Amino acid sequence: MIKLMKMELKKHSLGWYFSSAFVASLCSIALLVLINYVETPSEVPLRDLDEALVIVGAFARVTCVILSGVLVAKLIVEEYKNKTIFILFSYPISRKKLLGAKLLFITILTFITVFVTNLLSAGLLMLLNSYLHFIPGNADTAFLLKQLLSMLTFSVATAGTSIIPLYFGMRKHSVPATIVSAIVIVALISSHNPEFSIASIVYVPLALAVVGVLIAAWTIRNVETADVG
């Protein structure tokens, strides 16, 4: 399985994936700083550092779920659409193992990217805030540990959620359906405003992660009988 995942890593150039996540992180930080200077003095754009990190985390998850949707489309759906998956299935390796390696590769990559992107964004934001003081609040050890645990939990949930677009893409082997469904999913789980924030509720992405795992299990179970034509 590990060898198959290494083959996927060598087969596909992922420079665009990492650079997109990095640029999106910088944009989220720039947006938060800009909001602070655009709002009038009577308005408080960000109540505290905790709310700012919720927004930063939501940006990281939005970016990574959409990028994972592109990966699902590229590594699986497009291969079914172009029938190149049939070449892979002709190898003396179990179809379930081949497909499982692709899904595990996407899931692990998403988990690592979400966590690292969120961690770097949060670190950069807190570093800037220590000099500019545009967000109220202090980051003590208890606060940092709470944020770290939250990042890990959300990263696991996002990795599972990133598989859901596979279901919509595989219905008609449609790349656009895969990517659009990823965008719709992140729009549903990443909304935030001062009164109510879905982005801060971890149970929503955790529930979707369970759905993603079930979809992955169902797809792998049916791969032996799936029509590649």
Length of the chain equals 229
pLDDT of residue 119: 93
The C-alpha atoms of residue 186 and residue 60 are separated, in whole angstroms, by 11
- Residue pair 162/141 in contact (Cβ under 8 Å)? The answer is no
The secondary element (H helix, E strand) that includes residue 204 is helix 203-222
pLDDT at 38 (0 to 100): 66
The token pair that represents 3 in the structure block:
């060898």
Query: Which pair of structure tokens corresponds to residue 130?
Result: 């220590």
End-to-end CA distance of the chain: 26
In this predicted structure, what is the pLDDT of residue 165? Answer: 93
* pLDDT per residue as tens, the chain (229 positions): 777 777 777 777 788 888 888 888 888 888 877 877 666 555 656 778 888 888 888 888 888 899 999 999 989 998 888 888 878 777 788 888 888 999 999 999 999 999 999 999 999 988 888 888 878 877 788 999 999 999 999 999 999 999 999 999 888 888 999 999 999 988 888 877 777 777 778 888 899 999 999 999 998 888 777 655 5
Residues 199 and 139 sit within 8 Å (Cβ to Cβ): no
Could you identify the residue written with the tokens 């590229």?
Answer: 74
pLDDT at position 224: 74
Residue type, 192: H
> Given this model, what pLDDT does residue 173 score?
86
Distance CA 113, CA 184 (A): 20
Tokens of 94: 């179990």
